[in-house]
Every structure is written in C-alpha cells, then in structure tokens.
Structure 1
Amino acid sequence: MTRRERPTPLLRALGLAAGWLVALTVPAAAGLCERTEFEGNGYVVCKLDSAAEPQLRLWLKDASGAPYRNFDRVRAALPADEVLGFAMNAGMYHADLSPVGLLVIDGEELAPIVTEGSRGNFGMRPNGVFCTGGRRPYQVVESRAFAKATPECRLASQSGPMLVIDGDLHPRFLEHSDSRYIRNGVGVSKDGETAWFAISDTSVTFHQFGRFFRDGLKARDALYFDGSISRLYAPELGRADWGRSMGPIIGLVAPK
C-alpha cells in the first residue's frame, strides 16, 4: 500500500522474535542473504544470479483463490521437497490485497499495467516494472516504456517510484527529506545478470535507499516495493517477519 502506519518498535521486536522461532525449523538455501551496512544504515540483501532466475516465484492467491497474506501460508503451499529460501513483499496493493499495478505470474497477466500518474508513492513517476525471464534474466523498466515495448516476462510486478533510473536517482528524491520508513525494493545490474532484493533495518529516506542501490550495490536500475509494511523471510539469518497481511509476495524456492 502507498501509506501505512509505522509499526511500533515493540510490535516489530515481537514479530522478529516469533519469526526467529519459525525460521529455525526451516532448512535454508545457503548463501542467499547477508547483512551489510552503508553510510551508517543496516540492510539485508538477498542476491540472485541469472542461474537462480527459474527458481524465483511470485505469489498472490492460493488454489482456493484466497490471498496468501503471509510467508507461513506460502511455505505451507510448497511441495514437500522444496523450501523457501527467502521472500519479501513485492509491490503495492489495495485493501483487498489485489495489486495496484501490473502483476504477471508464470507468464499470465493477472492485473494490467497502470501508466497514469497519481498521488502516493506508486504514482510518483517514473515508476517501473520488475521483470524476470525475458530478454534478460532480470530487468527494471520504466512503466510507460514497458507498456510501449511489452517485453516478455515470466514474472512481473509493477511498483513505484523507481529508485535508480539508468544510474541516476529518482529526480524527486530530496537528500534532506524527513520522510523515513523501513523500506524494501529490488535492483538489477547493467547486464541484467544479477538482482538484489534489499530491506533496510531501520527507517531511511528515499534518497538514502536509492543511494544504497546505486552506490552500495552498483545497481543500474532499482525499484521501490514498499515502506513501513516491508517484510522479509530469510531463514539463514534467523528472520521471518510478520505483521499486516501482504499482497504480492516474491521469493526463491530451492530443493530441500
């Protein structure tokens, strides 16, 4: 969603504590996620190379048509021989948990692209689309360019704003903004061979988060997924966040 109440420190602490117990029972796909620091702020980054793209998944609704809502339900739906290596919320959504913009799962368009500007973070153009399995393993494409080119995608999720556009920060980001939230997003390398899924440990501005992708990770393009409600599942780090229900969820599935 584009605006949410920030969880209290107590609720986030309780969520992480409960998530720790859940995560310890789940085998992890090793080497996916790591903690790092940039300009004094902590982040968790889950890095995927091109070989991992076929294992990436997007989830919205289960076989009965009900939204997954959380990581536990995604895990429960996996076959017995698969494990969830990592996962995070993957874009903004309406009150009924349906995506605000484009959503493509296994090549099927479940929600159409939105190219009009609007209020809120999603409509802060340029916004963009994260696309996998097309001409390049991973792409972040500005939404209007995406609508014009209609690239092939196995998975796609639209969100906004873009954080990094062809190596530059979004033009509307303010270096000294007082808008700070825990934020998550995805960035891709210039050659499309690498994707970084990142979440901040503490509240950061858009400018700080964009600099992390551009200068810390050297991402050529990056897309904001959301803020405040941002969640991460990373069992190798003993982390399984819980909180408000999520709409689209993205993650990596690996053999158990």
Structure 2
Amino acid sequence: MRNSLLGALAALFLPVAGQACEAISYRGQGYVLCEATSADDLRIFQTGADGRTYGSFTRVNNALRDEGKRLGFAMNAGMYHPDRSPVGLMIEDGVTRKDLVVGPSEGNFGLEPNGVFCIGERFRVVETRAFAADPPSCRFATQSGPMLVIDGELHPRFLVNSDSRYIRNGVGVSGDGATAYFVISTDPVTFHEFGSLFRDALKVPDALFFDGSISRLHAPELGRDDIGFPLGPIVGTVVDR
C-alpha cells in the first residue's frame, strides 16, 4: 500500500511489500483493504463454462487452472437472488448477463441511489441513473447498492447513530480511475462508519456497497479463504499460479 494511504488510515500495522491485501484499523474498527490497479487482471465471475453460477472461490480457482492462473484476492461483488442470479446489471467478459435495473427496488439494493462498478479502460463507480444516461464501456460490471459515497459525500440516508451493524464489503475508486480499493470489515459496522472509511480515509469520490452479513474474502496472503453459503457475483484479481 502507498505510504500516503497508510498515513491517512492511521493503520496499526506495518505494510508488507508486494501484498495486495492488508489488515487495517480505522476509528477503532477492523477491516481488510485490498488494492487493484490498472496493471492488474481484475475480473468479475458469475457464470462458468458449464452455464452454472460459480458460487465459490474454489470453483473460480478450478476454472482458472486451465489458464495456468489462480485468484490473487477475491470477494463477493453484489447482491443476488436465491438462485444466485444477479439482482442488477452484470457484464462478464463483455457479455451482458443481466440488464441494468433503474428505479425503486427492495432491500439495500433499493436504497437509492445505488450504482455500478465498471471495469473498462479504467475503473469506475457510477450512480445508476447516471450510468443509464451515458453508459461507459465496461468489460466487466456489477450493479449493487446503496452507493456509499457519491461525488465525495456520504449517502444521504446514512445515520450517524444507526444500530444496524453487519460485516460489510464494498469498493471505491480513485479519482483518476487507476486504483480500486476493496474493503471488508472484520467488525460489524454501520453504513455510516463504512462509508466514512471510503470518504475520509481512502478519499475516493465514489464508492459502492456490495453486501453485508454474507460478505466473504479470499486472501491467501492473509490466510483467509472464507466459506459459507454459495455466492453470486465474485470480483477478484487473476495471477499466475
């Protein structure tokens, strides 16, 4: 991690050169922060060659073995229905698996504004209606919600004194689109606390919530390969075996 980022986080750890993921502490809460740059092979995984949803980090790794590759780090990347199909937009290697959902919806996804994480020539987090009005070119994309940070401001419905605490994960993108920051909490946190990390510590202009309570991380360098119920969309870096 860059020294300036570490200073801003006031993290209670020493950085390890070459690690994509680090355990950090911010305002008394624990998190894991993983960083991807435009030089990384970052992909979103939903449907395998057999037409089935991957559902787990293990199945993605098994599929990558044929390329002589493996996952670097990975996490769940957006909300999904009981059959693990994505709730909102899903673009996988240029193929649109599910169209953009605009307008009122249910649950956290429907806590508008929601948004899209797009992997193209650069990384982007785009509010859903702005995406619909001027869709960027995305090789991979996943829609989720709510937005955590919008143009440098927290989502207007986040409450400072909320008592809704969950393990949460999400993504924020640097202003130049060259870096994506993936964060999962290790402590149950509120939306306000989680969004504040992206806005005040990472200082990203836009950030998007992926999910809560089912949030899971694959980070071998940290000894983590979280298991649980089958997942929907998965985002991760691809590296040589």
Gaps of 5+ in 2: 1-16
Q: CA deviation at 1:119?
A: 2.7
Are 1:74 and 2:60 counterparts? yes
> Which residue matches 1:146?
131
1:34 to 9, 22, 25: 22
Are 1:106 and 2:93 counterparts? yes
> Which residue matches 2:78?
91
Indicate the SS of the match to 2:232.
coil
1:204 to 167, 189, 197: 189
Report if aligned partners of 1:101, 1:157 keep a CA contact under 8 Å in 2. yes
Gaps of 5+ in 1: 1-28
Indicate the SS of the match to 1:115.
coil
Residues 209-224 of structure 1 mapped to structure 2, 5 A cutoff: 209-224=194-209
Distance in 2 between the 1:155 and 1:249 partners?
11
Between the aligned residues of both structures, percent identity stands at 60
Distance in 2 between the 1:103 and 1:66 partners?
15
- Please give the TM-score of this superposition, normalised by the length of structure 2: 0.91
Residues 1-256 of structure 1 mapped to structure 2, 5 A cutoff: 30-52=18-40, 55-80=41-66, 81-134=68-121, 137-256=122-241
Q: CA deviation at 1:211?
A: 0.3
Report if aligned partners of 1:87, 1:232 keep a CA contact under 8 Å in 2. yes
Distance in 1 between the 2:29 and 2:112 partners?
26
Indicate the SS of the match to 1:77.
helix
Indicate the SS of the match to 1:122.
helix
Distance in 2 between the 1:158 and 1:88 partners?
15
Distance in 2 between the 1:77 and 1:192 partners?
29
Indicate the SS of the match to 1:145.
helix
Residue identity opposite 1:44 in structure 2: V
Indicate the SS of the match to 1:196.
strand
Report if aligned partners of 2:164, 2:190 keep a CA contact under 8 Å in 1. yes
Q: CA deviation at 1:42?
A: 0.6
Aligned-pair RMSD on alpha carbons?
1.2
Q: CA deviation at 1:193?
A: 1.1
Indicate the SS of the match to 1:202.
coil
Distance in 1 between the 2:44 and 2:119 partners?
11
Q: CA deviation at 1:30?
A: 4.3
Report if aligned partners of 2:75, 2:217 keep a CA contact under 8 Å in 1. yes
Indicate the SS of the match to 2:106.
coil
Distance in 2 between the 1:224 and 1:128 partners?
9
Show structure 1 runs of 4+ deviating over 4 A: none
Report if aligned partners of 1:167, 1:220 keep a CA contact under 8 Å in 2. yes
Distance in 2 between the 1:107 and 1:156 partners?
9
- Please give the TM-score of this superposition, normalised by the length of structure 1: 0.85
Residue identity opposite 1:61 in structure 2: T
Q: CA deviation at 1:113?
A: 0.3
**C-alpha spacing 1:60/1:77, structure 2 compared with 1 (3 Å):** same
How many residues in Structure 1 have an aligned counterpart in Structure 2?
224
Q: CA deviation at 1:118?
A: 2.1
Distance in 1 between the 2:91 and 2:149 partners?
22
